[in-house]
Amino acid sequence: MKAVDPILRPRTSRLVECAGRGQIRIYVDWQVLVEAEAKSRVARALDEANLKHSVEVPDVLALVEEERAHMQAKRRKKRESEQMDWTSFHDLEDIERFEEWLNSTAGNLVQMATVARTLEGREVRLVRITDPTTPGPKKKIWIEGGIHAREWISPAVTTYLMHQVAVSPEWRDILKVTEWYFVPVANPDGYAYSFSSPRARLWRKNRSQNGPSARCKGVDLNRNWNLKWGVGASGNPCSETFKGKEPFSEPETVGLGRAMQSVRDIDVFITFHSFGQTVLYPWGWTRDPPANVKQLSRLARKFNEGVKAASGGRTEYEIGGSGPLYGLASGASDDWAYGAMQVPFSYTIELPDTGSHGFLLPESEVSRVVFETSSGMHCMIGFLTNIGPCARHAGNRSKSVGFRGFRG
């Protein structure tokens, strides 16, 4: 989740006309996570304020336990085959083993690098996929997964897309003209921690030690990038959206930022999060639209088109600026990619669902979501490269989707 404190987020909103000020967004209903002991107190306060309320998930911890039981059963079965699948969630070890497997099977296409070492000694890995037999210049696409620990569907989508791009015939023509950079797990310490116990399942930040006597651990890595740092983020180490003691205070963001700087001229940056089913473009730190908002929105619609087609119309994404749609927040990777690296197409994609399970998306949904998302990406990148079913019509071929007149 990008912009809203995770225990409190808007579920639905609508735009209304406001005299003399154009449209404003009204949040119609909110979803709140409360401790069991606080339940009756919260209900009373809402009654007093005359606000309607109902319990959507009576026991979040029970859902976590259910998920763990399911994973353990699957794990026992999987041990025998040692293969990656997208019918369940995978811990960091599984993901790293999969990266190594991909590197050894599709070795001519894959290169791996470590871009950072975390506080707990884990690697932040970058996987580059490109076809060395085809000449450039190629479109550079950067995909970031797992910057928020508990959003387990994000590394699932990232690893699936990585697999598709490397081995699927459907991607072969696109791969000839593109160069991919995948970060399956941008926050490995946090991700590993979220697998460690039911209580840790909803952990969001990294595991940073906030000073020798700090009571609370972790920095929100998606508030730590150096662009308008501090807006809509917390200075309290105990907050879920703690921005860190300074911009780029964390090894993960420093390493990722440096790697992006050395790759340079990135055309598309996407960071996968959950949940909400939204495609968000910059800015997060202001409600002002970015310079190329029309192009950003058009390419986002291509993603949605691909998803919609693959899901038979069942899944649709809302598209908009992250500031206007989710409230102001700065220090996010998509704003930095757009503003500091001048990546013309920069997005945060909030994966399904829209809130009924939220961060605890059932494992039975994983295969559907990864397939739909990959189809959305295929349409989006197909449009950008003019290849495949989402290519622009032959008559429009000269029309550039590139980005001109960058400001700021």
List active site positions: 350
Taking CB under 5 A as the binding criterion, the range among 36-44, 266-274, 339-347, 371-379 that sits at the site for Zn ion is 266-274
CB of 407 to Zn ion, least distance (A): 27
* Matching residue, tokens 């991700």: 191
Taking CB under 5 A as the binding criterion, the range among 38-46, 93-101, 184-192, 267-275 that sits at the site for Zn ion is 267-275
Burial 167-193 (b: 16+ CB within 10 A, else e): beebbeebbebbbbbbbbbbbbbbbbb
Burial class (CB in 10 A: 0-12, 13-18, 19+), 399: exposed
Candidate list 1, 149, 157, 369; residue touching Zn ion; CB under 5 A: 1
Q: Which is nearer to Zn ion, 60 or 110 (CB)?
A: 60
Q: Which is nearer to Zn ion, 253 or 292 (CB)?
A: 253
CB of 243 to Zn ion, least distance (A): 14
By CB under 5 A, what part of segment 163-192 binds Zn ion?
A: none
CB of 263 to Zn ion, least distance (A): 23
Q: How far is CA 356 from CA 114, 194, 359, in A?
A: 36, 20, 9
Question: Considering the rule CB under 5 A, would residue 205 count as an interface residue with Zn ion?
Answer: no
Give DSSP secondary structure letters for 118-171: -TTS-EEEEEEE--TTS-S--EEEEEE--SSTT-THHHHHHHHHHHHHHH-GGG
Q: Which is nearer to Zn ion, 165 or 332 (CB)?
A: 332
Cβ contact 268:141 at 8 Å: yes
Beta bridge partners of 345: 268
Question: Considering the rule CB under 5 A, would residue 221 count as an interface residue with Zn ion?
Answer: no
Question: Considering the rule CB under 5 A, would residue 273 count as an interface residue with Zn ion?
Answer: yes
DSSP assignment, residue 17? E
Cα–Cα distance measured from residue 347 to residue 299, given in angstroms and rounded to the nearest whole number: 10
Q: Which is nearer to Zn ion, 174 or 361 (CB)?
A: 361
Q: Which is nearer to Zn ion, 131 or 365 (CB)?
A: 365
Window 101-140: contact mask with Zn ion (x via CB under 5 A): ----------------------------------------
Cα–Cα distance measured from residue 38 to residue 41, given in angstroms and rounded to the nearest whole number: 5
CB of 151 to Zn ion, least distance (A): 5
Q: Are strands 345-351 and 268-274 parallel, antiparallel or unpaired?
A: parallel
- Nearest Cα to Cα of residue 194 among 18, 6, 16: 6
CB of 2 to Zn ion, least distance (A): 5
Q: Which is nearer to Zn ion, 284 or 382 (CB)?
A: 284
Element (H, E) at 270: strand 268-274
CB of 194 to Zn ion, least distance (A): 12
Amino acid at 256: L
CB of 242 to Zn ion, least distance (A): 14
Taking CB under 5 A as the binding criterion, the range among 167-175, 194-202, 229-237, 270-278 that sits at the site for Zn ion is 270-278
Taking CB under 5 A as the binding criterion, the range among 1-9, 36-44, 167-175, 284-292 that sits at the site for Zn ion is 1-9
Beta strands in 154-277 (DSSP E): 178-183, 268-274
Q: Which two tokens stand for residue 64?
A: 């976590």
Window 333-372: contact mask with Zn ion (x via CB under 5 A): ----------------------------------------
Q: Which is nearer to Zn ion, 296 or 349 (CB)?
A: 349
Window 140-159: contact mask with Zn ion (x via CB under 5 A): --------x-----------
Q: Are strands 8-18 and 178-183 parallel, antiparallel or unpaired?
A: unpaired
Query: Helix, strand or coil for residue 251?
Result: helix
Total residues at the site for Zn ion (CB under 5 A)? 3
Query: Helix, strand or coil for residue 204?
Result: coil
Cα–Cα distance measured from residue 188 to residue 123, given in angstroms and rounded to the nearest whole number: 7
CB of 186 to Zn ion, least distance (A): 10
* Matching residue, tokens 């590993």: 192
Amino acid at 184: P
Taking CB under 5 A as the binding criterion, the range among 64-72, 227-235, 250-258, 272-280 that sits at the site for Zn ion is 272-280
Q: Which is nearer to Zn ion, 273 or 302 (CB)?
A: 273
DSSP assignment, residue 84? -
**By the criterion CB under 5 A, which residues form the site for Zn ion?**
1, 148, 273
